[in-house]
A and B are shown apart, each in its own frame.
Chain A
Amino acid sequence: QVQLVESGGGVVQPGRSLRLSCAASKFTFSSYSMHWVRQAPGKGLEWVAVISSDGITKHHADSVKGRFTISRDNSKNTLFLQMNSLRSDDTAVYFCARDRTLIPVVPIFQHWGQGTLVTVSS
């Protein structure tokens, strides 16, 4: 059973930084593209970023481009999201998610973590 466990959320002041982690297990982490998706309180889902299996190719949503950076450590089966210059509208539950298939690489979210809450407030 694929497991994705996010951590690193909390309360942070506007303008500060936070790094989220997602520990993966029960599958070959290094073979799959991985994503971050967020959900503001009472709102819908918003895709944030994707990283290829080898960590080379990345895409970020316009709303976080230049502030957030997705990365991974395949030796530790861990996905990261470095969040800088945080704003109040970044307040959300952040989920990590795994692509459905190895090949082809298609960004459909088959497995999700339970999420970690980030609250940006002074």
Chain B
Amino acid sequence: AIQLTQSPSSLSTSVGDRVTIACRASQDISSALAWYQERPGEAPKLLIYDVSSLESGVPSRFSGSGSGTDFTLTISSLQPEDFATYYCQQFDSYPLTFGGGTKVEIK
């Protein structure tokens, strides 16, 4: 199975800050990567698919980049509603796998 390693596992930051979350795959997954946001008590929400395509309705402060094995989710200016846990997911092959998550907390 393809393993996804996210870093950092958590970070403390402030409103208005730029946040970058990394996701590394154990093998080349081309562009088969998505990002999700999960707020406490809510179902996960799709943010980005195919590495950099923004899901409809998702604010443009979210962006994704990368290819092959190294990927990044960037939030350009953190808003109060962005404090949540973020997961990457590969859909290159089964079994589908998620990264371990990155919790973004208020400093």
Contacts and interface: CB of A to CB of B under 8 A. Distances in A.
Interface of A: 35, 44-47, 50, 59, 61-62, 95, 100, 106-110, 112-115
Contacts, number: 53
A46 B97 CA distance: 7
B59 interface: no
Given A46-B98, A115-B43, 5 more contacts: A44-B100, A61-B95, A106-B91, A107-B96, A114-B43
B91 A45 contact: no
Given A107-B91, A109-B36, A47 B98 contact: yes
B75 to A, nearest CB: 19
A46 B99 CA distance: 9
Interface residues of B, number: 21
A105 B78 CA distance: 33
B43 A47 contact: no
